[in-house]
Amino acid sequence: MISRRLFTGLIGSVAMMPGLAFGADMPAPFDNPGAVKIALVRYLSTGDFFQAYLSGVEKQAAAIGVDLRVLDSRQDAALQSDMVDQAIALGVDGIIIQHGLTESMKDAAQRAVDAGIKVVAFDVNVDNAAIPQVEQSDRDLARLALEQALKDNGTSFTAGYVYVPGIAPLDRRDETWQKVKADNPGINQVAEFGTLDNPIANSVANQARSALSANPDITVMFAPYDEFAKGVKIAVDEAEMSGKVSIYSADVSTSDIAAMREDGSAWKATAATNPAVVGEVSVRTLAMLLAGEDPGHNVIVPPTLITQQMLNDLDITNMEDLSAKVPAFAHADVSVPGWMPLPQR
Amino acid sequence: MDNRTSLVDLAIRYGFLVLMAALIVFFGIMAEGFLTPFSAVFILQSVAITGILALGVTATLVVGGFDLSIGAVATSALMLSSYVMVVWEMSALSAVLICLAMGAFVGLINGLLVVKMRVPDLLATLGMMFLLVGAQRIPTEGRSISTGMSLPDGSVANGKFSEAFLALGRHRIDFIAPNLVPLSVIFLIAIAIGVWVFLETTRHGRLMYAIGSNQQAASLAGANVNRYKIVAYMISGVLASVGGILLAARLGRGDVASGNNLLLDSVAAALIGFAVLGASKPNAFGTAIGALFVGILLQGLTMMNAPYYTQDFVKGAVLVIALVFTFALSGRGGRARG
Amino acid sequence: MNDPAIRLAGLRKAFGRNQVLRGIDLTIPAGRVTVLMGANGAGKSTLVKILCGVHGADAGTVTLDGRPFAPASPSAALRAGVVTVHQNINDGVVPDLDVASNLLLDTLADGSGTFLNRRRMRERAREIAAAVGLEIDVTRQVADLSLADRQLVAIARAMAHDPRLMILDEPTSSLSAVEAERLFDLIESLRDRGVAILYISHRMSDIRRLADRIVSMRDGQIAGVFEEAPLDYSGSVRAMLGHEMTEADITIPAPGRTVLEVSDLVLRPGAAPFSLVARENEVIAITGLVGSGKSDLAGALFGLAPPLSGQMVLDGRPHRPTDARAAIAAGVYMCPKDRLITAVVADFDITRNITIPFLPRHSRASFLSRGSERRTAERMIGEMGVICQTPMDGILTLSGGNQQKVMVARWMAEASRLLILDEPFQGVDIQARRDIGHKIRATAGTRATIVFVAELDEALEIADRILVMSEHSIVGEHRNENIDVSAIMAEVVEAAPARAAGLQHG
């Protein structure tokens, strides 16, 4: 789904913009196709997740018929803040701030609001009442995965946990894990490890090997990030414990699907929000603001639980299949007023 | 030679090995299951890739050079092998050969930059590092490579990692216990022995050490300094690509990564190697021990549930201690003044 | 105007066991140019380094204008009024900065405040340049200047300190005659202002042009002071080179076949072409002052830098080595000078230092045979009389003389057609010097041998034939029998015609 559409999306937004026959059905300012300019100001951009997010933004922008500029600061916080000013100078009508640091973006976001520009923030808290926050709910992600773990393994099991503190989404997922542990005293966490040394999966695999050999009684591994889960799965396979250990995680990609579907795979379930859908929701939320409607301050994109069994039953092999066969994953009914055109599927 | 100096000599020579033995005993007591063949194999497996890269760094250190690009070469090989099998749908053998050729080619370019263009080694290989980190993202627009992925032109890649290729990272042979020793560990041991034999027992290795110690003297003694330097960078490039191949076989997909952690860990292993047996110079045996030392520490700490940031701290501490062994205790500082 | 600016009394300095200065008593008067001469290793550089604050003396006193002078650092020396212009011009300037910054460098390094006022810097720099008659755009990068202009910048910078003593260490070694003349004019104007000048040089033409008095150094002592007009130039050279006429009991054997024939060789633009022949069973010493071209000739024979023109023929075949490897393959070996820089492999033991050039001889299918290496090393250690505990001793554990024996052994371990030894007695004690000399002569039967030495004594001790080099050409040839030392001296010193005007080199 992601990149083929990304390609057509690119063509749609760049070459034949403003495109099709919309316009008349939409409220101002969208009744004049191509008149609206928006900017996407990114902090993170490399990796599958961010590519998919961008493709969602591009598709939704093309569907509404707005002119999209993408400004990519490549993890440079200061540059990202400058880019907001750049977007202001470009005279855009709306800005989507994608990730970033609260400290560097708060003032820049306020400057944009002061300039009369509508702003939406995704996964960064800019601490501004005028700016809706689009979020994929990390707490819900962790909750879905852990509910599946409790369903599969009962409320008493020995667990290993992969965690690196200080990373906002992981911290939010951690809150849920702590809560689940408190609610289920039968869960005995005997090992906690984690690293972001890249390649992350390889480094985590080394640690998981050590953790498993020190604690061979572990039956559940909670690895709430797919790179972590991938590493744990390598270690479980190498320790030949895949019959014994179950892995629960968050996020999904084509290669994750393949790993989950391997024969006897220990990776039982993951909870994920489709990053392309998050991208679409970001644009729709901004469009609502521009049309003078209120999307609410917290726009939460609900996650989908993806189990090994579901993947096998529906014979899903990649992200396109997943979107096509699991409608909840392909579209989120968030920020969808009646006039809003949706990307074609 | 009074007693004190001979004691210092002993400390320099065997201090590091004693430290390692003490560490093993400590973890054996503190962490249940540490002193088992399985645990030993885990450790070896966890250091196999950095160990192989570190042996490549050792080759460049021997000729007085340095290769900052090995981490990027390894992750480029990871992406390249995935690309060859998944997108081009070629065999495991082609993937391995293409990666090795890529490593050798990058090493050749590094060597030519250093020798012919007279670019300082750190700068030349730093440039190569950035170049490779960028280059590996171009064919897939920055996405990871796995079966079923969509390509920039809209088609879907249907190739698979062949079983033979995955076996490089996953197959295990019977030794003491059935299915115990992974192939990657065998590669590490074989390459360590190979590099050791090359550096210590052949005339080529001898001349490389001579070049590293006094390039002008080696040149005036008739050594082909330029050729040996290029060879050293090619060894480094090839070994880094071997590391990347093993990484791909273990991960089973092509991950975009800079490989900086691989670089830093392997450089640390090579530098710790200076201290082993009081060699005070880059050497294959020391590098292998250095990699093992870091592996033992990390395994033991993880088994004791130490948080991740303590591991970097401990790695750093080991490196500093090793450098003190090398430079302060054995009086190497004096050599530079020579 | 003839008050002694600087007075040195009983100055001593040793590095480890090596006594470099053995009691120097010397005055350097104000308003005069004192030329300091001395062969390599005579102690000139050490003396200069003590005066400019790099080293401290072990014993003895220095007084500057009657006050004790013992600078703790180069900047302390500078503040006290002793400035030094170094031999290596780039030691005196920072090529990447502009002229103004260079002229004010010491102020920048010393001064307070962090930010620079460009305009004021330039004004001050122009004043400094004008004071020494240097007409130059102070905004130019020093890297873009000619060597001579860089030199003048270095001197102008030194002059800004209103010095009492200015030391110039071989300042003309990279200058053309015209450029040198500008420098001399400047030095004379400084002298007339009452500055004491200590001028270190080997160039007789410079010395004739500038010297008010000449001090010769030899083996860490003052070997002679010449200050009565007319100055005794050849006396000063003799004092510097010295020759005790040691028991040089050379018996000249009958030379064998011709090995090397050099004809019409030109080593430098403008140098006179020369020819020479070297035969088996013959040891030739080539002597001459520093910079006379000895190293260039050695380099041409060993393939390090090709001659400009002329032929070299080895055993009847053209000899045009492109690098050291090619020369070695042709049977031409060279033991280079400055062994610590060019020969000693510090990380290696004695054995490995000896076997480096001939490793294929000690290996089978590239794998080294430790036994073969050890046998060779033991044989050579025995033959050369290297004093060590085992062949596995680190090379740096040996004394200088024994290190040099190992370096010579490296090239004597295999038979050669032509053996070149460049300054083989450098930094070597007298016993090691005898041992090495005897060994060279004893093994000379099957090859031609050329030894390059600056010290005449050494040439007399070792050679059958002595050739004298000057201005990159051979200017004299003497059979080492009833030799007329003063004739050689004359060639070393006198044969130097004034350098061609405007000749650029370096």
- Nearest chain C residue (CA) to B224: C325
Chain B residues with beta carbon closer than 8 angstroms to that of A194: 308
pTM of the model: 0.76
Chain C residues with beta carbon closer than 8 angstroms to that of B207: 356, 359
Chain A residues with beta carbon closer than 8 angstroms to that of B142: 45-47, 51
Residue C144 located in a structural domain: yes
pLDDT of residue C111: 57
Residue ranges making up the domain that contains C38: 4-241
pLDDT of residue A167: 78
Nearest to B77 by CA among B55, B57, B53, B109: B53
Judge if C67 and C215 occupy the same domain. Answer: yes
For residues A34 and A19, what is the distance between their CA atoms, to the nearest angstrom? Answer: 9
Residue B182 has pLDDT above 50, yes or no: yes
Beta strands C274-279 and C448-453 are unpaired
Residue C248 located in a structural domain: no
- Nearest chain A residue (CA) to B296: A210
pLDDT of residue A23: 46
Residue C434 located in a structural domain: no
Classify burial at A306, counting beta carbons within 10 Å of its beta carbon; exposed 0-12, middle 13-18, buried 19 or more: buried
Quick one: pLDDT band at residue A15, thresholds 50, 70, 90? very low
Quick one: pLDDT band at residue B95, thresholds 50, 70, 90? very high
Judge if C372 and C228 occupy the same domain. Answer: no
A11 at B interface, C-beta within 8 A: no
Judge if C98 and C226 occupy the same domain. Answer: yes
Judge if C319 and C347 occupy the same domain. Answer: no
DSSP C324-367: HHHHHHTTEEEE-SSHHHHT--TTSBHHHHHHGGGGGGGEETTE
Backbone angles phi, psi at C285, to 5 degrees: -105, 135
- Interface chains of chain C (3 or more CB pairs under 8 Å): B
Looking at chain B from residue 272 to 311, which residues have their Cβ under 8 Å from any Cβ of chain A? 298-300, 302-305, 307-308, 311
**Which tops the pLDDT comparison, B261 or B77?**
B77
pLDDT of residue C1: 42
Judge if C365 and C482 occupy the same domain. Answer: no
Residue B229 has pLDDT above 90, yes or no: yes
Residue C504 located in a structural domain: no
**Which tops the pLDDT comparison, A252 or C419?**
C419
Quick one: pLDDT band at residue C503, thresholds 50, 70, 90? very low
- Average pLDDT for residues A167-175, to the nearest whole number? 87
pLDDT of residue B1: 41
- Average pLDDT for residues C278-303, to the nearest whole number? 91
Residue B101 DSSP SS3 = helix
In total, chain C counts a number of residues equal to 506
Residue C87 located in a structural domain: yes
- Domains of chain A (ranges; CATH) run 2-137+274-303 (3.40.50.2300), 138-272 (3.40.50.2300)
A257 at B interface, C-beta within 8 A: yes
**Which tops the pLDDT comparison, A7 or A94?**
A94
- Average pLDDT for residues C321-332, to the nearest whole number? 95
Mutation for testing the B interface, residue in A196, A209, A251 having most B CBs under 10 Å = A209
Residue B275 has pLDDT above 80, yes or no: yes
The DSSP secondary-structure symbol of B84 reads: I
Judge if C67 and C186 occupy the same domain. Answer: yes
B158 at A interface, C-beta within 8 A: no
Backbone angles phi, psi at C71, to 5 degrees: -65, 135
Mutation for testing the A interface, residue in B143, B151, B297 having most A CBs under 10 Å = B143
Cβ of C347 within 8 Å of Cβ of B212? The answer is yes
The whole-angstrom distance between B2's CA and the closest CA on chain C is 17
Q: Check if the beta carbon of residue C456 is closer than 8 Å to that of residue C489.
A: yes
Judge if C94 and C234 occupy the same domain. Answer: yes
The whole-angstrom distance between B201's CA and the closest CA on chain C is 5
- Average pLDDT for residues B30-54, to the nearest whole number? 86
- Nearest chain B residue (CA) to C336: B220
B201 at C interface, C-beta within 8 A: yes
Residue B230 has pLDDT above 90, yes or no: yes
Backbone angles phi, psi at B324, to 5 degrees: -65, -45
Beta strands C465-470 and C367-368 are unpaired
Residue C307 located in a structural domain: yes
Quick one: pLDDT band at residue A219, thresholds 50, 70, 90? very high
For residues C205 and C191, what is the distance between their CA atoms, to the nearest angstrom? Answer: 19
Q: Which segment, A231-245, B12-26, B300-314, C421-435, is predicted with the most confidence on average?
A: A231-245
Q: Which of A192, A200, A254 sits opposite B305 (nearest CB)?
A: A192
pLDDT of residue C477: 92
Residue A11 DSSP SS3 = helix
pLDDT of residue B174: 80
Residue B330 has pLDDT above 80, yes or no: no
We report the CATH number of the domain holding residue C295 as: 3.40.50.300
Looking at chain A from residue 150 to 179, which residues have their Cβ under 8 Å from any Cβ of chain B? 164
pLDDT of residue A284: 95
Among B166-175, B281-290, C232-241, name the one with the lowest average pLDDT: C232-241
Cα three-residue angle A88-A93-A94, rounded to 5 degrees: 85
B216 at C interface, C-beta within 8 A: yes
Mutation for testing the C interface, residue in B206, B228, B330 having most C CBs under 10 Å = B206
The whole-angstrom distance between A192's CA and the closest CA on chain B is 6
Out of 1.10.357, 1.20.1410, 1.10.3470, 1.10.287, the CATH code matching B3-333 is 1.10.3470
- Average pLDDT for residues A193-212, to the nearest whole number? 88
Quick one: pLDDT band at residue C122, thresholds 50, 70, 90? confident
Looking at chain A from residue 199 to 218, which residues have their Cβ under 8 Å from any Cβ of chain B? 199-203, 205-207, 209-211, 213-214, 216
For residues A266 and C268, what is the distance between their CA atoms, to the nearest angstrom? Answer: 79
A75 at B interface, C-beta within 8 A: no
pLDDT of residue B38: 78
Chain B residues with beta carbon closer than 8 angstroms to that of A191: 305
Residue B14 DSSP SS3 = helix
Residue A102 has pLDDT above 60, yes or no: yes
B338 at C interface, C-beta within 8 A: yes
pLDDT of residue A279: 94
pLDDT digits (tens, 9 = 90+) for B66-75: 999 999 999 9
Residue C249 located in a structural domain: no
pLDDT of residue B336: 32
Residue C433 located in a structural domain: no
Tell me the C-alpha to C-alpha distance, in Å, between residue C319 and each of C265, C282, C299, C472: 12, 20, 13, 20
Tell me the percentage of chain B whose pLDDT exceeds 70: 96
The whole-angstrom distance between B280's CA and the closest CA on chain C is 9
Q: Is the dihedral of CA B9, B10, B14, B18 positive or negative?
A: negative
- Nearest chain A residue (CA) to B157: A318
Residue C118 has pLDDT above 80, yes or no: no
pLDDT of residue B337: 28
Q: Which of C324, C328, C346 sits opposite B338 (nearest CB)?
A: C346
Quick one: pLDDT band at residue C283, thresholds 50, 70, 90? very high
Judge if C84 and C191 occupy the same domain. Answer: yes
- Nearest chain B residue (CA) to C408: B221
- Average pLDDT for residues C476-497, to the nearest whole number? 76
| ipTM exceeds 0.90, yes or no | no
- Nearest chain B residue (CA) to A192: B305
The rounded mean pLDDT for chain B is: 86
- Average pLDDT for residues C122-137, to the nearest whole number? 79
For residues A73 and C85, what is the distance between their CA atoms, to the nearest angstrom? Answer: 52
Note whether C touches B: 3 CB pairs or more under 8 A: yes
Residue C494 has pLDDT above 80, yes or no: no
Residue B199 has pLDDT above 90, yes or no: yes
Among B132-136, B331-335, C255-259, name the one with the lowest average pLDDT: B331-335
Nearest to A101 by CA among A44, A142, A46: A44
**Which tops the pLDDT comparison, C93 or C376?**
C376
Residue A204 has pLDDT above 80, yes or no: yes
Residue A1 has pLDDT above 50, yes or no: no
Q: How many domains does chain C have?
A: 3
Nearest to B100 by CA among B231, B229, B237: B237
Pull the structure tokens for residue C253: 């054997």
Looking at chain B from residue 274 to 293, which residues have their Cβ under 8 Å from any Cβ of chain C? 281
Residue B204 has pLDDT above 90, yes or no: yes
Judge if C200 and C345 occupy the same domain. Answer: no
- Average pLDDT for residues B276-290, to the nearest whole number? 89
pLDDT digits (tens, 9 = 90+) for B129-157: 999 988 988 887 777 788 777 777 777 78
Judge if C324 and C456 occupy the same domain. Answer: yes
pLDDT digits (tens, 9 = 90+) for C225-256: 998 878 787 788 778 776 554 555 678 888 88
Judge if C177 and C30 occupy the same domain. Answer: yes
**Which tops the pLDDT comparison, A319 or C146?**
A319
Q: Check if the beta carbon of residue C168 is closer than 8 Å to that of residue C85.
A: yes
pLDDT of residue C500: 35
pLDDT digits (tens, 9 = 90+) for C427-480: 777 778 888 999 999 999 999 999 998 878 788 889 999 999 988 899 999 998
Tell me the percentage of chain A whose pLDDT exceeds 70: 93
For residues B192 and B239, what is the distance between their CA atoms, to the nearest angstrom? Answer: 11
Q: Which segment, A16-20, B71-75, C51-55, is predicted with the most confidence on average?
A: B71-75
Mutation for testing the B interface, residue in C295, C340, C344, C345 having most B CBs under 10 Å = C345
Judge if C99 and C201 occupy the same domain. Answer: yes
pLDDT of residue A222: 96
- The structural domains of chain B, with segments of one domain joined by +, span 3-333
pLDDT of residue B56: 95
Among B241-245, C59-63, C126-130, name the one with the lowest average pLDDT: C126-130
Quick one: pLDDT band at residue C298, thresholds 50, 70, 90? very high
Q: Render the burial of A252-266: b for 16+ CB within 10 Å, e for the rest.
A: bbbbbbbbbeeeebb
